[in-house]
């Protein structure tokens, strides 16, 4: 078995309206699902992604209006990278530089140009280029033309003290170590490289094309332990092809000395959770059933969707959710 890449990344933000205005209007991601935190139904759970919400493109948020700011530190995912076509990089430099409070001028990492900036809550984001992403259909919205749109994740960066045990686990999961670049070490999903791709349309979900398996980068730096709050990543979820493979992985993780949770039904996928040796919370999520299970392609993200167990409380939930206009 080999993990085929990242399924989604979940972060914590402040108010939902500011979050939506930034990720949908500034970055141009499609809001593909409006639901709630199943463990706290007074809180939104917003899903952004490509046109169909394919695995490898999904960035989700728990927006807490009154939460305290967090701080990325040891044992947390500290950066989220997005991939755009090479011809679009300068377009994004010009766009982002005037729309964010922190913007680092273009630099180079692992041979690719990259810009680093913050979202409204201080979450570190990056935009870089990856070969072949121009083959993915773009999502045109607002003033972002289809040819310049963000296509998928490029990488997720884990901030760690030394990374030795994390690197060992990644290799158990099928990731292959690639080159180092200063304090960063890059890992690629088995059989992938900077130029190879994997199918992202599993689970009966309509595929929007081929999605490169995002890299996992280890940022090795002695620093303070992180503090969860707004502007931080809650967890990184990896892909399981189906429930059978997920259970096989659960057994393998237990044999490796980890403590994965039982399977949890998240409506759009089934999940298990575990902390990797460096402290980062990992999830293993199934590709099916996907974002199209309760909405059509044209209506993704337009209505509040609730799991069957919460549907009877819809009126109460709608009254208590913070205001959000999309």
Please tell me the least confidently modeled range out of 61-65, 91-95, 198-202, 285-289. 198-202
Q: Indicate the pairing of strand 215-220 with strand 184-189.
A: antiparallel
Q: What angle do CA 259, 265, 269 make, to 5 degrees?
A: 100
Q: What pLDDT digit, counting tens, does each position of 225-282 carry?
A: 889 999 999 999 999 999 999 999 999 999 999 999 999 999 999 999 999 999 999 9
pTM of the model: 0.93
Q: What pLDDT digit, counting tens, does each position of 86-127 carry?
A: 999 999 999 999 899 899 999 999 999 999 999 999 999 999
Asked whether 10 and 268 are in contact (CB, 8 A), the reply is no
Average pLDDT over residues 274-291: 97
Q: Give the Cα separation of 52 and 149 in Å (integer).
A: 14
Residue in 267, 139, 127, 268 with CA at minimum distance from that of residue 209: 139
Asked whether 273 and 51 are in contact (CB, 8 A), the reply is no
6-320 is classed CATH 3.10.20.30: no
Q: Is 304's pLDDT higher than 90?
A: yes
Q: How many CB atoms lie within 10 A of CB 68?
A: 11
Asked whether 10 and 312 are in contact (CB, 8 A), the reply is no
Cis bond upstream, residue 319 (ω within 30):
no
What are residue 125's phi and psi, to 5 degrees? -125, 155
The Cα-based distances of 145 to 58, 120, 198 in angstroms read: 20, 23, 25
Asked whether 77 and 157 are in contact (CB, 8 A), the reply is yes
């Amino acid at each position: 078995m080999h993990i085929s890449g990242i399924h989604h990344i979940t972060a914590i933000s402040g108010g939902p309206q500011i979050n939506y205005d930034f990720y949908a209007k500034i970055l141009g991601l499609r809001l593909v699902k409006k639901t709630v935190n199943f463990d706290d139904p007074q809180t939104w759970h917003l899903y952004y992604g490509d046109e169909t919400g394919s695995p490898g493109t999904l960035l989700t948020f728990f927006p807490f209006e009154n939460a305290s700011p967090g701080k990325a530190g040891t044992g947390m995912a500290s950066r989220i990278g997005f991939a755009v076509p090479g011809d679009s990089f300068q377009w994004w430099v010009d766009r982002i530089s005037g729309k964010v409070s922190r913007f680092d001028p273009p630099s180079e990492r692992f041979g690719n140009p990259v810009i680093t900036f913050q979202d409204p809550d201080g979450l570190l984001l990056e935009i870089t280029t990856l070969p072949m992403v121009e083959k993915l259909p773009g999502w045109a919205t607002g003033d972002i033309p289809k040819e310049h749109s963000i296509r998928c994740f490029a990488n997720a960066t884990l901030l760690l003290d030394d990374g030795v045990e994390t690197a060992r686990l990644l290799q158990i999961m099928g990731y292959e170590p690639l080159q180092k670049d200063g304090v960063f070490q890059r890992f690629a999903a088995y059989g992938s490289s900077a130029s190879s791709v994997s199918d992202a349309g599993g689970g009966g979900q309509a595929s929007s094309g081929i999605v490169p398996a995002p890299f996992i980068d280890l940022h090795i730096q002695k620093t303070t332990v992180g503090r969860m709050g707004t502007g931080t990543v809650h967890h990184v979820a990896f892909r399981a092809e189906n429930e059978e493979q997920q259970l096989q992985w659960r057994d393998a993780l237990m044999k490796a000395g980890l403590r994965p949770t039982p399977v949890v039904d998240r409506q759009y996928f089934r999940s298990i959770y575990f902390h990797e040796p460096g402290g980062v919370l990992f999830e293993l999520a199934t590709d099916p059933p996907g974002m199209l299970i309760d909405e059509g392609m044209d209506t993704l993200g337009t209505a509040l969707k609730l799991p069957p167990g919460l549907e009877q409380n819809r009126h109460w939930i709608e009254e208590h959710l913070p205001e959000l206009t999309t």
